[in-house]
Amino acid sequence: MALTIYRSLLWVLFCLSLKATASELRSDELVVPSNLAQGGLVIATVAPGYSVKYKGEPLKINEKGMFILGLGRDADELMRLVVANDKGHQTDYTFPVAKRKYNIQSIEGVPQRTVTPNLEDVARIRQDSLLVKNARQGVSDRQDFLAGFKKPLEGPVTGVYGSQRVYNGTPKNPHYGVDYAAPKGTIVRAPAAGVVQLAHSDLFYSGGTVIMDHGFGLNSSFLHLSAVLVAEGQEVKQGDPIGKVGATGRATGPHLDWRMNWLNVRIDPQLVMESLPAE
């Protein structure tokens, strides 16, 4: 009994030592936002000279000690960071991650071939996913994300991150983007600056597709475009036109599907806009 009380007292003291404000958890060497959630982008800071590992991998840290990482749709309830000083002394930190509820969304009327692809399609899908994987590879030095993110167009949100998708009655993978409905031909603008990694007029599932690198492993994808207005390798500023809304690939009508990734982790663009709003 006495031991239990002692332990909870230690826990409270530990929490107090981490808690500086309501919105962040702070220790001498680490500052992490307190509102971590599945699908979110974590923007945190470590003291000079320290390194940080997440899931065994060292994270890229900028000159101010800032680093980022993405939490997946089904991320564990605790995020663990290992912080080390230049002498190699390590400290483990764990932070709670809020669980999210995802709805089920049924979509009727997509081309049946995009639900039950034939053998030829399957080969194409494999090729496409390689192109996409390559476009999302690498952790560049760019820090475009620091200026924040804006909506790529104005339009009603018709699909959200994480929902379980049922296409023409067949359960499929969850939806990982945010869908904005807009008339065909509506200009899609870069939500943040970056460099174009992929500009393709016709991928099997996503049709006209643009992928942009915003730096530190963070990237955006724009799907179902009727026209691609940028070329691979092109530098794009925030607000620049990058494509036009369409219904190419697996879509029932014209809309933009905007996705975001941190490395291979799919994150929620709506949460990214909340954590990194543009001025």
Which of 29, 213, 257, 268 touches Zn ion (CB under 5 A)?
257
The interface region with Zn ion, picked from 57-65, 120-128, 177-185, 241-249 by CB under 5 A, is 177-185
Q: Which of 114, 51, 127, 71 is nearest to 266 (CA)?
A: 71
Nearer to Zn ion, 143 or 248 (CB): 248
The interface region with Zn ion, picked from 61-69, 79-87, 114-122, 173-181 by CB under 5 A, is 173-181
Q: How many residues does the chain have?
A: 279
User: Is residue 179 within the footprint of Zn ion (CB under 5 A)?
Assistant: yes
Work out how close the CB of 250 gets to Zn ion at its nearest, in angstroms, rounded to a whole number.
Answer: 9
**Cβ neighbours of residue 10 under 8 Å, at least 6 residues apart?**
none
Work out how close the CB of 159 gets to Zn ion at its nearest, in angstroms, rounded to a whole number.
Answer: 5
The interface region with Zn ion, picked from 48-56, 89-97, 169-177, 261-269 by CB under 5 A, is 169-177
Binding mask 132-161 for Zn ion (x = CB under 5 A): ---------------------------x--
CA dist list (Å): 196 to 122, 147, 187, 209, 210: 26, 17, 17, 11, 7
DSSP label at residue 130: H
53-78 per-residue burial string, b: 16 or more CB within 10 A, e: under 16: eeeeeebbbeeebbbbbbbbbebeee
Q: Which residues bind Zn ion (CB under 5 A)?
A: 159, 177, 179, 257
